[in-house]
Amino acid sequence: MSQNPTPLAGLRVIEFTHMVMGPAVGHILASLGAEVIRIEPLGGDATRRLLGSGSGYFSMYNRGKQSICLDLKSPEGVDVARDLIGGADILVENFRPGALDRMGLSYEAMSTVNPRLIYCSEKGFLPGPYENRTALDEVAQMMGGLAYMTGPPGRPLRAGSSVIDVTGAMFGVIGILAALEERHRTGKGQKVVASLFETTTYLVGQHMAQFAVTGKAAAPMPARISAWAIYDVFETKDLPIFLGVVSDTLWEKFCALMGFDDLWADESLRANNSRVLARDRILPVVREKVAGYTRAEVIALMEGTGIPFAPVRKPEELFDDPQLAEGGLEPVVLDDGRETRLPTVPLEMAGLRPGAEQHLPQPGRDARSVLAALGYDESRVEALIAQGTVGAL
């Protein structure tokens, strides 16, 4: 089996995170070869025990990491954390504003100890009037316009995954990598801040720009006027499929494949914008024709033609996707010992896919080895464990 690329090998990351946004930063860095050490509270991060839609958070975003549990309410626990940060390249945190500051672990404090430290804070908001508010993915989606654009008119709807948490994490990683490059030139670290709200506005910026260009507000996606006449989900005999005809050349090809001789013969429909204006006339004809095929038959017609198409799938169906079987999923052993496969970081580098350690870190699993690497002798480590400052297996 090919070795995974490890471009960030040799970098040490200390992670004070929970939920999705912060852990996703660490997972991306770990998948690219960095050593990532999670600092968890005694007993382990509460994210491990979430139910419902949160039950997959820990498994998805914490592969490839080490774990040490610290009592950060005790001076001794904070001392251990300070020692870990002192030897780190990168710190990642996504707790409420000021949480680490109150422990004496702010960027300002830690950069005096470790001037090369890159300190990444994943927050709800960048500096401004809202910066001390508590934010969640839904909060950002609602106030940033994404929920309005996702749902039908009058019914704002959050996206179907933690898209802002994950995208905010990606911007955090971009900032970290940029700061690393600058550190190569200056020898100094810096603070990097990424946020949920500003991430959301970047994603809906296309709709803001639409208003700026046209003077007309963008309609929610279910009620939008598409830039193409055929750009929608269609019902077949069995399962739905998305089809997009996004150029005049593809329109000619689509008509030939589907037997729309009359539509192609209508020269008023040869140009895309004309088809958009005639959408109400075209779509019923296309829907009726597509409904006479099975989804597999439509896919067979479209495959290799350059016409965009997509079967509408559920997440659980992706485990058996042949494309993902080519390296898009990596094996993972869950906390209860069961094996599964979960998405890897979606990159290829020099022909290889990134990957992380297969096992999830048990709470405190790596405490002894992490502290030993700091130079703590065995008696000191065992004393910290015995007094409850450090949790270890």
CATH of the domain at 76: 3.40.50.10540
**Alpha-carbon span 276 to 282, nearest angstrom:** 9
For residue 248, give its domain range. Answer: 226-316
- The whole-number pLDDT of residue 145 equals 98
What digits encode the pLDDT tens for the residues 165-202? 999 999 999 999 999 999 999 999 999 999 999 999 99
Residues 196 and 253 placed together within one structural domain of the fold: no
Residues 53 and 154 placed together within one structural domain of the fold: yes
- The whole-number pLDDT of residue 393 equals 86
What digits encode the pLDDT tens for the residues 287-338? 999 999 999 999 999 999 999 999 999 999 999 999 999 999 999 999 888 9
Q: Residue range 242-268: average pLDDT?
A: 97
Q: Residue range 364-369: average pLDDT?
A: 96
**Alpha-carbon span 72 to 89, nearest angstrom:** 21
- The whole-number pLDDT of residue 225 equals 83
Q: Name the pTM for this structure.
A: 0.95
302 found inside a domain:
yes
Q: Residue range 383-387: average pLDDT?
A: 97
State both tokens at 384. 């910290």
Residues 258 and 112 placed together within one structural domain of the fold: no
Helices (DSSP H) in the chain: which residue ranges? 21-31, 57-61, 75-86, 107-113, 137-143, 146-150, 163-186, 196-203, 205-214, 248-258, 261-265, 272-277, 279-290, 295-302, 367-373, 378-386
Q: Residue range 133-143: average pLDDT?
A: 96
Confidence class for position 143, pLDDT limits 50, 70, 90: very high
Residues 294 and 344 placed together within one structural domain of the fold: no
Residues 311 and 333 placed together within one structural domain of the fold: no
* Share above pLDDT 70 across residues of the chain, in percent, rounded to a whole number: 99
pLDDT greater than 90 at residue 233: yes
pLDDT greater than 90 at residue 359: no
Residues 156 and 181 placed together within one structural domain of the fold: yes
6 found inside a domain:
no
For position 271, which CATH number holds? 3.30.1540.10
Confidence class for position 2, pLDDT limits 50, 70, 90: very low
| Residue that terminates a domain, selected from 285, 316, 347 | 316
Least confident piece of the model among 81-85, 151-155, 221-225, 356-360: 356-360
What digits encode the pLDDT tens for the residues 75-103? 999 999 999 999 999 999 999 999 999 99
pLDDT greater than 90 at residue 357: no
- The whole-number pLDDT of residue 358 equals 80
pLDDT greater than 70 at residue 1: no
Residues 380 and 347 placed together within one structural domain of the fold: yes
Residues 331 and 374 placed together within one structural domain of the fold: yes
Residues 65 and 172 placed together within one structural domain of the fold: yes
- Per-residue H/E/C for 280-347: HHHHHHHHHHHCCCCHHHHHHHHCCCCCCEEECCCHHHHHHCCCHHHCCEEEEECCCCCEEEEECCCC
| Number of structural domains found in the chain | 2
pLDDT greater than 70 at residue 63: yes
Residues 250 and 333 placed together within one structural domain of the fold: no
- The residues facing 311 across adjacent strands are 241
Q: Residue range 47-52: average pLDDT?
A: 96
| Residue that terminates a domain, selected from 272, 294, 316 | 316
| Residue that terminates a domain, selected from 316, 340, 357 | 316
Residues 310 and 335 placed together within one structural domain of the fold: no
3 found inside a domain:
no
Alpha-carbon distances, residue 378 vs 37, 373, 382 (angstroms): 20, 11, 6
Residues 282 and 333 placed together within one structural domain of the fold: no
Q: Residue range 385-393: average pLDDT?
A: 95
Q: Which of 128, 140, 145 is CA-nearest to residue 205?
A: 145
pLDDT greater than 90 at residue 203: yes
153 found inside a domain:
yes
**Alpha-carbon span 50 to 44, nearest angstrom:** 12
- Taking every pair of Cα atoms in the chain, the longest distance, rounded to a whole number of angstroms, is 86
218 found inside a domain:
no
215 found inside a domain:
no
70 found inside a domain:
yes
Cβ 391 vs Cβ 364: under 8 Å: yes
State both tokens at 263. 């539509």
- The whole-number pLDDT of residue 175 equals 98
- The whole-number pLDDT of residue 249 equals 98
221 found inside a domain:
no
Q: Residue range 140-144: average pLDDT?
A: 98
